[in-house]
């Protein structure tokens, strides 16, 4: 066999190998796009199944308004990785990149498989989970807005249903007599309302409506919420916190015009009370007999959004879930 022929055959073999490799890559890209996505989803954060935090407030004070600094720091250390993980995946969902969005979906899958946040060992853990559930729903809503649905994602849907069910059972049966009726319940309902929309679950939406009315019907003729007044020098802060949740909840439920929100007219009384700056603070000091703490800018931001009007309550809400 001539040297030229050997060289030619070698070149031909190399070309065939390259062609086969390219063809294989093309088929892989067409048939298994998830494999390419998986390789781009390195270092997705995990979430724990079990959480056992304790309250940051000194429980010896009836008002639950005095911080225990050591407990606050310990609690923050336990919750920070959870918050960081969820926000990392939320950032992926919001990234203007299709692969990143699919990585966010994969993150949800891994959390669902691991039954993340489904073993809340303490009351504080249950109360803390509500904000995390709200941010998880924000990931789903962000993906849906980008055309990525949960159709066929049975594990994720089942996990989200579990989070909602556990939340409702906790506040209906296990929570203390105050937590089941104060701002904690309203914030929990904002997450359940979104999950009800995501999963098309009317029981969840009904629970969210009942939670709104449970709070709004407590507002007295001057706009005060008795359970939040009990927070002593933090009463103004907690009224802002409660108003933010109730206002958000009213807007989330606004698309269901066939259901009236009981006591929705009283939300305006609470808004008038908290939205008047220094005058609002003075009103709380007069009512409680205690100098009130200065709310943070973030807390005061709640007062910049008036409650929905009756007309709004007949239209679909476009509220940002975050």
Give domain limits for the chain.
Answer: 43-175, 209-316
Instruction: Return the higher-pLDDT residue of 251 and 67.
Output: 251
Residue 57 has pLDDT above 90, yes or no: no
The confidence band for 35, taking pLDDT boundaries of 50, 70 and 90, is very low
State if pTM tops 0.85: no
Band of residue 95 on the pLDDT scale cut at 50, 70, 90: very high
Report the C-alpha gap between 73 and 17 in whole angstroms: 60
Residues 35, 163, 261: CA angle, nearest 5 degrees:
125
Q: What is the pLDDT of residues 155-184, one digit of tens each?
A: 999 999 999 999 999 999 999 999 999 999
27 phi and psi, to 5 degrees? -65, -45
pLDDT band, residue 28 (cuts 50/70/90): very low
In contact, 109 and 143? CB cutoff 8 Å: no
Instruction: For domain 43-175, give the fold.
Output: Glycosyltransferase (1.50.10)
pLDDT number for residue 269? 97
pLDDT the model gives residue 310:
67
Q: Per residue in 115-161, pLDDT tens?
A: 999 999 999 999 999 999 999 999 999 999 999 999 999 999 999 99
* Per-residue three-class SS string for the chain: CCHHHHHHHHHHHHHHHHHHHHHHHHHHHHHCHHHHHHHCCCCCCCCCCEECCCCCECCCCCCCCCECHHHHHHHHHHHHHHHHHHHHHHHHHHCCCHHHHHHHHHHHHHHHHCCCCCEECCHHHHHHHHHHHHHHHHHHHHHHHCCCCCCCCHHHHHHHHHHHHHHHHHHHHHCCCCCCCCHHHHHHHHHHHHHHHHHCCHHHHHHHHHHHHHHHCCCCCCCCCHHHHCCHHHHHHHHHHHHHHHHHHHHHHHHCCCCCCCCHHHHHHHHHHHCCCHHHHHHHHHHHCCCCCCCCHHHHHHHHCCCCCCCHHHCCCCCCCC
Percent of the residues in the chain that have a pLDDT greater than 90, as a whole number:
74
pLDDT, mean of residues 90-104:
94
- pLDDT band for position 260 (50/70/90)? confident
pLDDT of residue 272: 97
In tens, the pLDDT along 181-235 reads: 999 999 999 999 999 999 999 999 999 999 999 999 999 999 999 999 999 999 9
Burial of 294 by CB count in 10 Å (0-12 exposed, 13-18 middle, 19+ buried)? exposed
Backbone angles phi, psi at 315, to 5 degrees: -125, 165
Q: Confirm if 207 and 170 have CB atoms less than 8 A apart.
A: no
Number of Cα atoms under 13 Å in the Cβ half of residue 214: 24
- Categorize the per-residue pLDDT at 254 as very low, low, confident or very high, splitting at 50, 70 and 90: confident
pLDDT value for 65:
77
Mean of all residue pLDDT scores within the chain: 86
How many whole angstroms separate alpha carbon 197 and alpha carbon 176? Answer: 28
């Amino acid at each position: 066999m001539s040297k030229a022929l050997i060289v030619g055959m070698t070149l031909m073999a190399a070309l065939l190998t390259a062609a086969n490799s390219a063809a294989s890559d093309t088929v892989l890209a067409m048939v298994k796009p998830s494999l390419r996505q998986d390789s781009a989803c390195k270092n997705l954060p995990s979430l724990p199944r079990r959480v056992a935090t304790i309250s940051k407030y000194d429980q010896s004070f009836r008002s639950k308004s005095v911080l225990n600094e050591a407990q606050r720091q310990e609690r923050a250390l336990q919750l920070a990785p959870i918050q960081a993980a969820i926000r990392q995946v939320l950032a992926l969902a919001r990234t203007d990149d299709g692969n990143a969005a699919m990585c966010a979906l994969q993150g949800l899958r891994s959390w669902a498989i691991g039954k993340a946040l489904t073993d809340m060992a303490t009351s504080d853990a249950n109360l803390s989970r509500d904000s995390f559930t709200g941010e998880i729903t924000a990931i789903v809503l962000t993906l849906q807005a980008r055309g990525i649905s949960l159709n066929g994602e049975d594990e994720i849907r089942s996990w989200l249903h579990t989070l909602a069910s556990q939340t409702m059972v906790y506040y209906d049966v296990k929570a203390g007599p105050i937590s089941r009726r104060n701002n904690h319940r309203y914030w929990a309902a904002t997450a359940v309302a979104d999950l009800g929309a995501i999963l098309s679950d009317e029981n969840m939406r009904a629970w969210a409506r009942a939670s709104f009315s449970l709070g709004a019907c407590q507002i007295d003729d001057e706009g005060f919420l008795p359970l939040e007044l009990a927070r002593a020098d933090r009463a103004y802060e907690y009224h802002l916190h409660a108003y933010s949740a109730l206002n958000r909840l009213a807007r989330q439920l606004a698309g269901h015009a066939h259901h009236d929100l009981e006591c929705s007219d009283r939300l305006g009384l609470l808004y008038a009370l908290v939205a008047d700056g220094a005058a609002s603070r003075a009103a709380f000091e007069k009512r409680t007999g205690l100098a009130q703490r200065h709310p943070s800018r973030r807390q005061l931001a709640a007062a910049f959004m008036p409650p929905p009007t009756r007309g709004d309550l007949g239209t679909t809400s476009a509220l940002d879930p975050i």
